[in-house]
Amino acid sequence: MNKRMFSVSQVNAYIKQLFVKDYVINDIWIKGEISNLKKHTSGHIYFTLKDDTAALSCVIFRSSRQYIDCDLQNGMTISARGYISVYERAGSYQFYVQQAQKDGIGVLYQKYEQLKQKLQQLGYFEETLKKAIPRYPKKVGIVTSDTGAAIRDIIQISKRRNPYIHLVLYASLVQGSDAAANIIQGIQYLDMRQDIDVIIIGRGGGSIEDLWAFNEEGVAHAIYTSHTPIISAVGHETDFTISDFVSDLRAATPSAAAELAVPAYRDLVNQFESYQSKLYSSINNQLQKHKKDMELYSVKFELNSPERKAKQEYQYVYELKERLSQELKRKMQDKINAIHLFQEKLEVLSPLHNLEKGYAYITDEENKNIHRIKQLDIGQDVIIKLLDGDIRASVKEINKKVWDEIG
């Protein structure tokens, strides 16, 4: 039995995908004590978070150090927010910290976790309910700030990929106490329009407070009830909000959302040309096939046409006629030859033939042939037939010959 064999890289990559697909560990707060703290010259920070019974390897990348609210020290107890993933090269998993604070889990994160669990139980995150993003949209709706970097990135990427797709912006607040209501209104407005094929909602990165509008239950409900597919593009690649979980598709950044929503015009042209080439090839193949079929049917029709059959029958009858004529001629000639042969035989056997030699033919008056003398009496009349006539005579004397007696 053949066993399927995997490489170490394949196994580590597969396990990493399992981590990526898990909602819980993709955005999680963990409380623990710092140990083995190392601040690398590259700007990254490596340490271990531990409690009484377990330890977890952690890393803070240089790009996330601005979100660390305290000076990390060995022995310090912190609450850290981030995601858990696999470091494929070493085959180990670790906690990638994006935020950290000395005082433990904040009020906002508690609200975030509570709402996340509630909506998950209500089925808002079900993959089976998510709508497909259209492959060839004509209009893309956008709910974001009209002055932020997000809209500039989306416009730039969209125009570069396909300048023929229309972008419809609903300018909304994306931060502050009124932001959630604005976002809800934007989603509902674009969803009611019949010409919008897909909606992008989002903003650039920030702290949990900055992104909080996208963690509101009202926004989640607006996304969930929207008939138009929605792409969530909130924050940076590692930031997760409630909107990301509810939306039909999550993009790591606003630029990535534009990549996902707007098909590349050049790709469409290439695809169209490919389809056109395949169509022409298919049509040509069909035409060639039908042409060959027509040629075959034409030959079959010609071979089986009534006219050809009539000609064949006529030829057959003509050949029979010729054969019959030849046979009749042959038989006629045979008969003629036979008659000539019989004629020659008759001529040889004919009494007239002997008469020409000087012989005579004698009959009685009743024309009966007389070939023996015992058929005659003295005084009996006989007729002597010569070549040129008959003689009537009377028998005067009968002389028997010796050979006659012997005969």
Encode pLDDT of 293-334 as tens digits.
888 877 777 777 777 777 777 788 888 888 888 888 888 988
* 215 CB-near residues (< 8 Å, 6+ apart): 108, 111, 112, 115, 208, 241, 242, 243
Q: With 90 as the cut, is the pLDDT of residue 224 above it?
A: yes
The pLDDT score that the predictor gives to residue 391 is 87
30 three-class SS:
strand
Report the Cα 280 to chain-centroid distance in Å.
16
| Coil vs helix vs strand at 364 | coil
Is 70 exceeded by the pLDDT of residue 404?
no
Q: Per-residue pLDDT for 406 more than 50?
A: no
pLDDT at 298: 79
Task: Answer yes or no: are the C-beta atoms of 249 and 130 closer than 8 Å.
Answer: yes
Average pLDDT of the residues of the chain: 86
Of 11-15, 81-85, 100-104, 365-369, the poorest mean pLDDT is in 100-104
- CB atoms under 10 Å from CB of 291, counted, come to 10
> Between 106 and 123, whose confidence is greater?
123
Sheet holding 389-394, edge to edge: 361-363, 381-386, 389-394
Q: Tell whether the model's pLDDT for residue 271 goes beyond 90.
A: no
The percentage of the chain sitting over the pLDDT mark of 70, rounded to a whole number, equals 93
Residue 96 in contact with residue 16, Cβ under 8 Å?
Answer: no
Q: What does the pLDDT read at residue 201?
A: 97
> What is the per-residue pLDDT for 400?
80
Distances (CA, A) of 82 to 118, 257, 331: 21, 22, 119
pLDDT of residue 58: 94
CA 284 from centre of chain = 17
Q: Is the pLDDT of residue 351 over 90?
A: no
pLDDT greater at residue 344 or residue 249: 249
What's the token pair of residue 118? 């509630």
User: CA 206, CA 192: separation in Å to the nearest integer?
Assistant: 30
The pLDDT of residue 258 is above 60: yes
* Region 248-265 average pLDDT: 93
Distance CA(267)–CA(278), nearest Å, equals: 16
Burial class (CB in 10 A: 0-12, 13-18, 19+), 237: exposed
Q: What is the pLDDT of residue 102?
A: 77
Question: In this model, does residue 231 exceed pLDDT 70?
Answer: yes
Give yes or no for residue 407 having a pLDDT over 60.
no
Candidate from 50-59, 133-142, 360-369 with smallest mean pLDDT? 360-369
- What's the rounded Cα separation, in Å, for the pair 83 and 28? 6
Between 331 and 355, name the one with better pLDDT: 331
So what's the pLDDT on residue 65?
85
The length of the chain in residues reads 407
CA distances from 287 to 274, 278, 302 (A): 20, 14, 22
| Average confidence (pLDDT) over 239-258 | 92
Q: Pick the range with the lowest mean pLDDT from 70-74, 95-99, 147-151, 282-286.
A: 70-74
Name the percent of the chain in helix, strand, coil, to the closest 5.
45, 20, 30
Over residues 10-31, the pLDDT tens digits come to 888 888 888 888 878 888 999 8
Output 109 or 257, whichever has higher pLDDT: 257
SS (H, E, C) 45-112: EEEEEECCCCEEEEEECHHHHHHECCCCCCCCEEEEEEEEEEECCCCEEEEEEEEEECCCCCHHHHHH
The larger pLDDT score, comparing residue 270 to residue 228, is at 228
On whether the CB atoms of residues 226 and 191 are closer than 8 A, the answer is: yes
Least confident of 186-190, 262-266, 299-303, 340-344: 299-303
Spatial distance between the Cα atoms of 308 and 97, rounded to a whole number of angstroms: 91
What is the H or E stretch that residue 15 is in?
Answer: helix 8-20
C-beta separation of 121 from 245 below 8 A: no
